[in-house]
């Protein structure tokens, strides 16, 4: 809490009144700026952005109500009180409706003035204290660029902190868009010396025939087309970290080679008998259920056990909805910093809509939806109308299913599609198994998956995903 004086601006065409206010409030922890000319007074307010404003109601040219309106626009948090010699209940109600905090009748005793202004100052101090608390909480809720105040995320942060200095291999699991790559980078940064490389390999994006040479390098002439010797990702990352993204998509042959590398901590370039000692830590990530893949013989069991010695599970956003307001603020801040246009906040109603949606595409989907809302917004504050309501409502909580009081009850077909997509994801994209599990034909499944305007499939929401192959040495320590 700050003990700086609260700035109070008072405008009254009667200079004696200004003197009276200044004398009465001396020693109350306020710095008082008085002005008898209403237009100049308004300028004073715009320049100093006072926390408290005292306005005479009847003044020539610009009256108190007009100033009130302008102050509420420019300094919405300011506590404004009106003072008048012609008190009436109607005008008091009118002023309160327009955002005034108090409406005082002249003449006013020094005691009463001190009491009523004291209440306004107290409200200001309280808000200052709350915003300091809020700031402190926000500081605790950000960890290596990851935001989360939920217990689940706080637990993840502390596991990352504890694992980072010690791990050789970690598996990061979690649905698409939950922040697996951010977690991998945090593990790298916290556990390595500055300026060692963080090398990313997206296993799903490299053709099967090239993956070994991408990972381990090759010598000149190792295969047709190998005109030059090439250093692989592991060698490049010496001293640092290799991030194997989408490890579930790695072909079985490459999995066998990777296992040997993890066991022996050495590599051979393709076509070379020489071994190279490795000092590299490995973070692998996947949105697939590797256990199911092991059962289906799509993933090597021995590699699975090697990788799961240390496992970090990033929780889906729907299980930590209390993080949504903070994430939204973070996205807002980033959007404002880009300077495209000023967006100052979000209405409570809009926040409720965001909280009700299950976010199958997780934080990435929230980022896309909300950034889009900022771009499209007509006002400075994001409201429900700026959100893609159809998308957010159609897939929203299957709990509302069957509730006819709902303005837009969920259609059965949409619910079926939502369910099918979840099962498909759980079964690692295996459509045959999914159809079997759901007890429907494959063609019915295909028509379900392709139908509708639902964009719930995380793949469709994939903006800014790592490129084919992306080397990234990370000096930001
Ligand atoms: N806790 C978080 N705080 C702030 N931003 C986050 C958080 N989690 C994710 N993001 C943002 O969401 C987007 C997706 O994150 P990331 O790429 O790490 O997810 P992922 O789990 O690797 O997804 P995929 O499985 O699709 O590769 C990124 O833009 C990232 O910055
Ligand atoms: Mg990723």
Domain of 251, CATH number, reads 3.40.50.300
What percentage of residues in the chain have a pLDDT greater than 90? Answer: 59
Ligand lying nearest the CA atom of residue 200: 2
- Would the CB of 141 count as within 6 Å of ligand 1? no
pLDDT band of 130, cuts 50, 70, 90 = confident
pLDDT of residue 3: 66
The residue whose C-alpha atom lies closest to atom 8 belonging to ligand 1 is: 179
- Domain range spanning residue 412? 318-461
Please name the residue whose Cα sits nearest to atom 16 of ligand 1. 179
**Which residues sit opposite 381 in a β-bridge?**
345
Segment 324-347 shows an average pLDDT of: 89
**More confident: 247 or 74:** 247
Rounded CA gap, 359 and 24, in Å?
56
* Centre of ligand 2 from the C-alpha of residue 181, in Å: 5
Which of 138, 155, 177 is the last residue before a domain boundary?
A: 138
The arithmetic mean of pLDDT across residues 126-151, rounded, is 87
In this structure, are 171 and 119 located in the same domain?
no
- Give the separation between CA 457 and CA 239, rounded to whole angstroms: 38
Residues near ion ligand 2 (CB < 5 Å) are: 181
Q: Cα of 466 to ligand 2 centre, how many Å?
A: 7
Q: Which two tokens stand for residue 80?
A: 């404004």
Is residue 106 one of the residues assigned to a domain? yes
Return the residue whose CA atom lies nearest to atom 18 of ligand 1. 179
Nearest to 211, CA basis, from 232, 229, 225:
232
Q: Which range, of 300-314, 364-378, 424-438, 439-453, averages the lowest pLDDT?
A: 439-453
- CATH number reported for the structural domain that contains residue 432 in this entry: 1.10.8.60
Domain-embedded: residue 264: yes
pLDDT in tens, 199-214: 999 999 888 888 999 9
Atom of ligand 1 nearest to the CA of 181: 18
Residues 297 and 1: their CA atoms lie apart, in Å, by 60
For residue 468, what pLDDT band results from cuts at 50, 70 and 90?
Answer: very low
Say if 155 falls within a structural domain: yes
Looking at every residue in the chain, the average pLDDT score rounds to 86
Angstrom CA distances, 340 to 57, 191, 295, 336, 471, stand at: 40, 37, 50, 7, 30
DSSP label at residue 193: -
**Could you tell me the two tokens for 471?**
């080397």
Is any atom of ligand 1 closer than 6 Å to the C-beta of 364?
A: yes
Q: Tell how far the Cα of 177 is from the centroid of ligand 2, in angstroms.
A: 7
Q: Ligand 1: distance of its center to the CA of 201 in Å?
A: 16
Reported as a pLDDT band with limits 50, 70 and 90, residue 393 is: low
Q: With 70 as the cut, is the pLDDT of residue 259 above it?
A: yes
Is the C-beta atom of 281 inside 6 A of ligand 1?
Answer: no
**Ligand 1 pocket, residue 360 CB under 6 Å:** no
Residue 296: asked if its preceding bond is cis (omega within 30°), the reply is no
Give me ligand 1 centre to Cα 57, in Å: 54
State how far the Cα of 128 lies from the Cα of 52, in Å rounded to an integer.
13
- Ligand 1 touching residue 181 (CB < 6 A): yes
On whether both 183 and 311 belong to a single domain, the answer is: yes
CA–CA distances in Å: residue 186 to residues 22, 156, 179:
55, 11, 11
Q: Are residues 264 and 329 in the same domain?
A: no
245/187 same-domain check? yes
| pLDDT one-digit tens code per residue, 64-76 | 999 999 998 888 8
Query: Are 103 and 208 in the same domain?
Result: no
DSSP string, 103-139: EEESS--HHHHHHHHHHHHHHHHHHHHHHHHHHHHHH
Is the residue at 15 inside a domain?
A: yes
Query: With 50 as the cut, is the pLDDT of residue 52 above it?
Result: yes
Q: How confident is the model at residue 224 (pLDDT cuts 50, 70, 90)?
A: confident
Residue 210 falls in which region: left (phi positive, over 0), alpha (psi -120 to 50) or beta: alpha
Question: Of the bound ligands, which one is closest to the alpha carbon of residue 175?
Answer: 1
pLDDT of res. 419: 78
* Sequence-ordered list of residues with C-beta below 8 angstroms from that of 94, at least 6 positions apart, any chain: 65
The CB of 147 under 6 Å from ligand 1? The reply is: yes
- The confidence score (pLDDT) of residue 453 equals 43
Q: Output the pLDDT for position 389.
A: 77
* Domain membership flag for residue 94: yes
Residues 229, 342, single domain; the answer is no
Nearest to 217 by CA among 233, 237, 206, 202: 233
What is d(CA 30, CA 117) in angstroms, rounded to the nearest whole number? 10
pLDDT band of 400, cuts 50, 70, 90: very low
Over residues 266-291, the mean pLDDT reads 95
Report residue 141: phi and psi, to 5°.
-90, 5
Task: Assess whether 166 and 131 both reside in one domain.
Answer: no
Q: Do residues 293 and 355 both lie within one domain?
A: no
Name the residue of 148, 179, 367, 458 to mutate for ligand 1: max ligand atoms within 8 A of Cβ. Answer: 179
Specify the pLDDT at position 108. 94
Q: Which two tokens stand for residue 13?
A: 């065409």
Q: Domain for residue 227, yes or no?
A: yes
Q: Is residue 1 part of a domain?
A: no
* 326 in the same domain as 340: yes
Q: For the chain, what percentages of helix, strand and coil (3-state, to nearest 5) are there?
A: 50, 15, 35
Over residues 309-322, mean pLDDT = 95
CA–centroid distance, 296 to ligand 2, in Å, is 24
Domain count, the chain: 3
- Mean of pLDDT values over 82-93: 88
* Overall average pLDDT of the 346-350 stretch: 88
Q: pLDDT tier at 411 (50, 70, 90 boundaries)?
A: low
Tell me, what CATH number does 54's domain have?
A: 3.40.50.2300
Please indicate, yes or no, if residue 169 is contained in any of the structural domains: yes
Is 315 touching ligand 1 by the criterion CB < 6 Å? no
103 and 127 inside one domain: yes
Do 184 and 266 belong together in one domain? yes
Give the residue whose CA is nearest to atom 15 of ligand 1.
Answer: 179
Question: What is the residue with the minimal CA distance to atom 29 of ligand 1?
Answer: 364
Same domain flag for 84 and 183? no
pLDDT band at 452 (very low <50, low <70, confident <90, very high): low
Per-residue DSSP letter, 316: P
- Looking at ligand 1, which residue's alpha carbon is closest to its atom 23? 177
pLDDT at 264 over 90: yes
Residue 468 C-alpha to ligand 2 middle, in angstroms? 12
């Amino acid at each position: 809490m700050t003990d700086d004086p609260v700035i109070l601006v008072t405008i009254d065409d009667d200079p004696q009144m200004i003197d009276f206010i200044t004398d009465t409030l001396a020693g109350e922890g306020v710095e008082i700026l008085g002005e008898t000319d209403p237009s100049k007074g308004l300028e004073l307010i715009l320049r100093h952005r006072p926390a408290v404003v005292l306005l005479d109601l009847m003044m020539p040219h610009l009256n108190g109500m007009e100033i009130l309106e302008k102050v509420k626009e420019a300094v919405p948090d300011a506590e404004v009180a009106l003072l008048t010699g012609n008190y009436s209940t109607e005008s008091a109600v009118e002023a309160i409706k327009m955002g005034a905090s108090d409406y005082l009748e002249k003449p006013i005793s020094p005691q009463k003035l001190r009491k009523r202004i004291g209440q306004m100052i107290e409200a200001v101090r309280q808000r200052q204290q709350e915003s300091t608390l809020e700031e402190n909480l926000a500081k605790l809720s950000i960890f290596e660029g990851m935001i989360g105040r939920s217990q689940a995320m706080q637990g993840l942060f502390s596991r990352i902190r504890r694992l980072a200095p010690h791990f050789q291999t970690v598996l990061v699991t979690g649905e698409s868009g939950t922040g697996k790559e951010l977690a991998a980078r945090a593990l790298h940064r916290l556990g390595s010396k500055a300026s060692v490389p963080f090398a990313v390999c997206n296993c799903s994006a490299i053709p099967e025939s090239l993956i070994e040479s991408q990972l381990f390098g090759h010598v000149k002439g190792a295969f047709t087309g190998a005109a030059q010797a090439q250093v692989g990702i592991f060698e490049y990352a010496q001293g640092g970290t290799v991030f194997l993204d989408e490890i579930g998509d790695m072909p079985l042959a490459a999995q066998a080679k990777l296992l040997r590398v993890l066991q022996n901590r050495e590599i051979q370039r393709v076509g070379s008998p020489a071994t190279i000692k490795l000092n590299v830590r490995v973070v692998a990530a996947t949105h697939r259920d590797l256990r199911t893949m092991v059962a289906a013989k799509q993933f090597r069991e021995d590699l699975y056990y090697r990788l799961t010695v240390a496992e970090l599970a990033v929780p889906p956003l729907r299980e930590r909805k209390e993080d949504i307001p903070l994430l939204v603020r973070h996205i807002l801040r980033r959007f404002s910093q880009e300077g495209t246009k000023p967006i100052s906040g979000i209405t409570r109603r809009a926040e409720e809509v965001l909280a009700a949606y299950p976010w199958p595409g997780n934080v990435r989907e929230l980022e896309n939806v909300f950034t889009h809302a900022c771009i499209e917004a007509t006002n400075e504050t994001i409201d429900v109308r700026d959100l893609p309501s159809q998308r957010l409502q159609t897939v929203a909580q299957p709990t509302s299913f069957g509730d006819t009081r709902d303005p837009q009850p969920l259609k059965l077909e949409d619910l079926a599609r939502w369910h099918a997509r979840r099962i498909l994801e759980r079964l690692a994209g295996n459509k045959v198994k999914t159809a079997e599990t759901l007890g429907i034909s494959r063609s019915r499944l295909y028509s379900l998956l392709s139908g509708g305007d639902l964009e719930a499939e995380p793949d469709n929401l994939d903006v800014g995903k790592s490129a084919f192959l992306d080397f990234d040495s990370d000096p930001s320590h």
